[in-house]
Structure formats: structure tokens, C-alpha cells
Amino acid sequence: MTSLAQETGQNTSNLSETSPLRDRYSRQILFRGIGEAGQRRLQAAQVAIVGCGATGSALAGLLARAGVGTLRIIDRDYVEASNLQRQSLFDESDAAESIPKAIAAARKIAAFNSQIVVEPKVEDLVPSNIQALLEGSDLILDGTDNFETRYLINDYAVERSLPWIYSAAVGSYAVTLNVVPGQTACLACIFPDSPHGMVETCETSGILNSAVNLVASIAATEALKFLVADVSTPTLRRTLLSFDVWTNEHAEISAAKPRPGCRACGERDFIHLAGEGRPHITLCGRNSVQIHERQRPIDFAEMDRRLQPHGVVRHNDFVLKFWHDPYEMTLFPDGRAIIKGTTDTAVARSLYARYVGS
């Protein structure tokens, strides 16, 4: 896929050469932490944003306005009306036309900053394409909605000693972590195993756009620190930071050092990069996909309650059936699921992550 710069004929000349563009960033250049040298570094930087939903679109907008020279936006999904409450780069026309989020984001960015390069990639990040999609990046930002992809990013980043920033928001809760391979804890140091059982998602627990904007603002600021200085800058946060904007509860857990014996950064066992950590997904009969995830015990009564606002739900002791037009999901007590209405495994994975958890 070509970049939006090629599609729209953006001017990608050196931003520092023209006075109007120096004027664009003048207030940012006045900030001591950035200055003219920092702005030039931002201009030369390449950042990959994986996922362009709520957090990803906010990150993309902030970094585009800050003048990061090249943004690669990777997302497998399309815009829906329910996104508009919190996904800041989209509008009603995007939802009406089901525009892919990466394309819609790139178009919006071009309208307010035509002097940077945006590369929209309408793809699902998986082990087979991760190198092609992330190659050349100076920094990776997490805008995903599932730990499966985050562990994959972590494996890739640790193996290549590439910094990345984990970010998540659900309900009123936001959390973020800077990962500097070899210096700080990685995601697998903090979360050795992915969450089991039922996991809160935006679809079942809702989300406040203020929580999204908080975590995106924090992560975007940390990204600027990475890009204008280096990973040794003393102002770089070395904690797992969480904040609940509704209750005002917040916490920080030290992530200053790697955990001894960590699978990824200690043992360098990159199971997710090898594809071993992903749930097996197969076509299952006509127009259906089976997700063979057997590590997630399901409480049918609780899942029924959570899914009621989103479609028709029925269950007995053996299966739970959930209809969300045009899809039908059959969920088993061990977490295995059959999703009818599609043969696209990326769509099936997205539905599973949205309603059951990642």
C-alpha cells in the first residue's frame, strides 16, 4: 500500500527549511525540552502505531500535530458509529462508509498537517508480517486492544532492542509502561502470563473518552522524550503507571530493571514471535471460524449479563450462544468459540477480543 503522502501529493521536504513551517511548531520549539534540535529530530523520526482505535487515534493525532516526520498506522478494523464517542480522528461519514481506520486516520491527519508522511496499513499484525510492518521504526506505540498482539510487539521489540510504549484504557482506567529493552522491565517481566478467565473490554464494560485521552497524552509525551533525546534521558518514566479517572485512584509499580528469568528479555524465548503464543484459529465448516482457546474458563451467567446490551444471548450448562447481527458466536466453558457469519480469521479474532477478551 502506498503512503498517504503519495496518494495526496503531500510535500515531504525538510520542515526546517521554510519559515511557515518553523512558525507551525514555534510554541513547541520554545519549550526547553524540545527546542530547534529536538524539533529536527522529531521531523526525522519514524513511529509505528499498532492499532488505531481510541488510544491509537489519539496518539496519532498528537504526534502528527507535534511534527513527527513519518507515522505508520497499522489497523485491521473499520470505523463504526460506536467508535465516534472516543476515537478522535473519525467522523460520521467515515462510519457511514465503513472506512478502514488506518485510511480514515491518514486522511484526517493530511487535512491538518500535510507536511508529514502517513503510511496507512490496513492489516492485522501477526508473526508473518510483523517485520515488514514495523521495519525501520524508531519507536513502536501500542494502540491495540489485546494482550496477544502486545506480547507479539514485546517479543519483536526485545529481540531487536527497539523501544516501545504499552498503553491501555477500559472503563475509567488507564495504564501505560515504557519498555527500553536491556534497561527496563519488558511487558513479559510485568505480566508473565496473559490474563485468564473473563477480561473487561470496552464492549462489555464501556469506556470514558477522558481515560483514553489521559493515557494517550502520557504515552505521547513519553514518545517525544524518546525521539528528541534518547532512551537514557533521566525524565523518561520507568514505572508501570495506572490511573482511574473516575475514582482518582492511581498507582505506580517500578519497572526500572528487567525481571531475572523473564522469558522474553532474560531467556530470549520469543514464543509469540514464533507464533506459539497465539490461539489456533481455523475455518470450521461453511462460513464459520473456530477459535481454539482453552485457557479461559467462562462463567456463563456473568457473560450472559455482560453481553445482553449487545445482542441476543442464550445459554445452558454446556454452551452460550450470542447473536450480534450478522454474526453468531457459540462459546464453550473452556473459552473455545465458533463464530458464524465470516470466514475471515481477523474478523473472528476481533469479535472474540471485543466480547470475550484477549
Active site residues: 202
CA atoms within 13 A on the CB side of 242: 13
**What's the DSSP call for residue 308?**
G
User: Is residue 165 within 8 Å of residue 224, measured between CB atoms?
Assistant: no
Residue 163: strand, helix, or coil: coil
Q: How many helices (H) and strands (E) does the chain have?
A: 14, 14
- In the beta sheet, which residues pair with residue 175? 168, 242
C-alpha 100/C-alpha 122 separation (Å) is 7
Query: Which candidate, 10, 220, 13, 14, places its Cα nearest to that of 110?
Result: 10
Pure H helices in the chain: 4-8, 19-24, 26-30, 35-44, 54-66, 92-96, 101-112, 130-134, 147-159, 187-190, 202-205, 209-228, 300-307, 345-355
- Provide φ and ψ at 258, rounded to 5°: -60, 150
If you count them, how many residues does the chain have? Answer: 358
C-alpha 47/C-alpha 153 separation (Å) is 14
